Structure 1
Amino acid sequence: MASRNQLVVPNARAALEQMKFEVARELGIQIPQDGYYGNMLTRETGQLGGNITRRLVQMAEQQLGGSGRY
């Protein structure tokens, strides 16, 4: 099934892909070269997504000056 998620900033795709591979390497998770994630454990994909989200939130907080306000 193709992903229906669309990026708000399409130019960010390469940076997000790079982040995915970096986080996977840090966690010791092997990303399938063919792009098919169906054979990965749910725990692995959850860890990967959770850590990416955590990192994106940290980046946003830093850009906001750590205040957490808009």
Structure 2
Amino acid sequence: MSRSNKVVVPDCKAALNQMKYEIAAELGLFASHGVSTGADTEFADELGGVSGGTRIQWREVTSRDVGSIGGSITQRLVAQAEKVLNGYS
């Protein structure tokens, strides 16, 4: 099965990963380093140390929470695009 998600701007991957972990932290979700599976865990140690959250593996995050993270990413990207289109940087 092939993925339909094509990376249009590869340089944005790190920024999107950072945004994903920031939003997960805001929701109280934290990924922990386990066995390296190639998953996006580069910010996991930083976020795991934030108080008030629970350290969990990404595979333990519910579909609802993953959807909340994705929805929040979309909202932030749209807001940033609107600012740029309206002349605010």
TM-score, structure 1 as length reference: 0.75
Structure 2 gap segments, 5+ residues each: 40-56
CA-based RMSD: 2.6
Cα distance, 1:2 vs structure 2: 8.1
Counterpart residue number, 1:17:
17
Counterpart-to-counterpart distance in 1, 2:15 and 2:61: 22
What are structure 1's unaligned runs of at least 5 residues?
Answer: none
Kindly report structure 1 stretches of 4+ aligned residues shifted beyond 4 Å: 1-4
Q: Kindly provide the amino acid, as one letter, of the partner of residue 16 in structure 2.
A: L
User: Is the radius of gyration larger for structure 1 or structure 2?
Assistant: 2
Answer 1 or 2: which has greater strand percent: 2
Query: TM-score normalised to the size of structure 2?
Result: 0.61
Q: Relative to structure 1, is the Cα distance of residues 14 and 2 closer, same or farther in structure 2, using a 3 angstrom cutoff?
A: farther
Say how many residue pairs are matched: 66
Q: Percent identity?
A: 44
Matches within 5 A, 1:14-53: 14-31=14-31, 33=33, 34=37, 35=39, 37-53=58-74
